[in-house]
Amino acid sequence: MMGRIRGQDRAITQLQRILDSGRLAHAYLFWGPDGVGKTMAAMAFAQAILCTSRQGGDSCGECVSCRKVMAGSHPDLVVVSPAGNSIKIGQVRDLHNQMGLQRFEGRHRVVVIRQAETMTEEAANALLKALEEPVGETVYILVSHNPALLLLTILSRCLAVQFGPLAPRPIRDIMAENGMAIPEVMTRLAGGSINSALDLMQRPQALALRQQAMDCLAGLPGWEPVDILLWVAAGEEEMDLPLFLEWLSCLLRDLWVWQEMGAEKLLLNQDLGDWLAGFPVAFDYPAALDLVLATRRRLAYNVNQRLALEVLLLELNDLTVEKGGGPPG
């Protein structure tokens, strides 16, 4: 049911208004970042369209039709997902053959196309044909995190429903509903995506790694190059370097925010107010963040991880400045 979708009030209100008006478009595009509930909302919208005793712009959750949708066995609801890396022409043809053969159970039929941007050109053209010559009361819901990859001719036939990144609170609530207690800092680090939050929670020692990043940043100003090499050498072989870099950039950002504005509300690591306030030096923050980002990009090319970390720390070391002073040079 749509009422259960969290953190997407604007999109859900828009959908409820559509249902209330009783005027359905032939095609919708649910777009927005990964892991924010687009597919869930598409399924809930489909259920509401098919529900036989809809109330207040939402499905009843109890009628035969609702129960079939929830069991994944409603004949008037078809979900298309990529087969491998893409949605292929055969899948769209099968879909239309199937729809041509079957009789409608209710008034409408709903087709949900997940990761619609993965449609091959042929598949997209076949879909376009169906959108241009709608048969009966079929409603298409295209779900995509990258609609720029869709054909303009398809986009122009869809009514867009935008989904935004989730705020930390709905992330915490959704995780809690699934039996996971997520630390506050991770809800913020997840960047508004449940997928990222789950990913973070599955990485062991995620918080211990933050402590390592804190120790490293705090130690840097007093370190000679040899200390940096020793610190890296003493580290674990299997350090999760991408996550370590994530923490570094997130800590540098907070140090910067704290220095410029002193606003606790804007911090990603809200539990670290004391640490940030007592931090002994400052960095040339824009340059430091650039360095971390560049290292992250370099990692994508399979460079030696240890070497990449050494270079980063040596360069970061040069970017420390006395507190209150301007950037060097």
Identity of the residue, 50 or 197, whose beta carbon is nearer to Zn ion in the bound complex: 50
Tell which one of 1, 26, 63, 165 touches Zn ion (CB under 5 A).
Answer: 63
Cα separation of 128 and 156, whole Å?
Answer: 10
Identity of the residue, 65 or 269, whose beta carbon is nearer to Zn ion in the bound complex: 65
Sign of CA dihedral 40, 43, 49, 50: negative
Identity of the residue, 60 or 294, whose beta carbon is nearer to Zn ion in the bound complex: 60
Identity of the residue, 19 or 319, whose beta carbon is nearer to Zn ion in the bound complex: 19
Give the shortest CB-52-to-Zn ion separation in angstroms: 6
* Region of 43-51, 99-107, 115-123, 194-202 interacting with Zn ion (CB under 5 A): 43-51
Q: SS3 letters for 73-104?
A: CCCCEEEECCECCEECHHHHHHHHHHHHHCCC
Give the shortest CB-212-to-Zn ion separation in angstroms: 52
**Which residues make Cβ contacts (< 8 Å) with residue 328, sequence separation at least 6?**
284, 318, 319, 321
* Region of 30-38, 45-53, 70-78, 309-317 interacting with Zn ion (CB under 5 A): 45-53
Cα separation of 104 and 2, whole Å?
Answer: 23
Q: SS3 letters for 196-256?
A: HHHHHHHCCCHHHHHHHHHHHHHHHHHCCHHHHHHHHHHCCCCCCHHHHHHHHHHHHHHHH
**Contact set for Zn ion, span 64-83 (CB under 5 A):** 66
Tell which one of 51, 154, 209, 213 touches Zn ion (CB under 5 A).
Answer: 51
Q: Does residue 60 touch Zn ion according to CB under 5 A?
A: yes
Identity of the residue, 2 or 40, whose beta carbon is nearer to Zn ion in the bound complex: 2
Task: Return the ∠ at Cα 17 (arms to 15 and 19), rounded to 5°.
Answer: 70
Tell which one of 59, 91, 115, 295 touches Zn ion (CB under 5 A).
Answer: 59
Give the shortest CB-40-to-Zn ion separation in angstroms: 17
* Region of 53-61, 87-95, 104-112, 320-328 interacting with Zn ion (CB under 5 A): 53-61
Q: How many CB atoms lie within 10 A of CB 306?
A: 15
Give the shortest CB-47-to-Zn ion separation in angstroms: 7
Identity of the residue, 74 or 145, whose beta carbon is nearer to Zn ion in the bound complex: 74
**Which residues make Cβ contacts (< 8 Å) with residue 312, sequence separation at least 6?**
245, 291, 292, 295
Q: How many CB atoms lie within 10 A of CB 297?
A: 9
Number of amino acids touching Zn ion (CB under 5 A): 5
Give the shortest CB-67-to-Zn ion separation in angstroms: 8
Identity of the residue, 53 or 304, whose beta carbon is nearer to Zn ion in the bound complex: 53
The single-letter code of the amino acid at 254 is D
* Region of 44-52, 101-109, 115-123, 226-234 interacting with Zn ion (CB under 5 A): 44-52
Question: Which three-class secondary structure state does DSSP give residue 29?
Answer: strand
Write out the residues near Zn ion by the rule CB under 5 A.
Answer: 51, 59-60, 63, 66
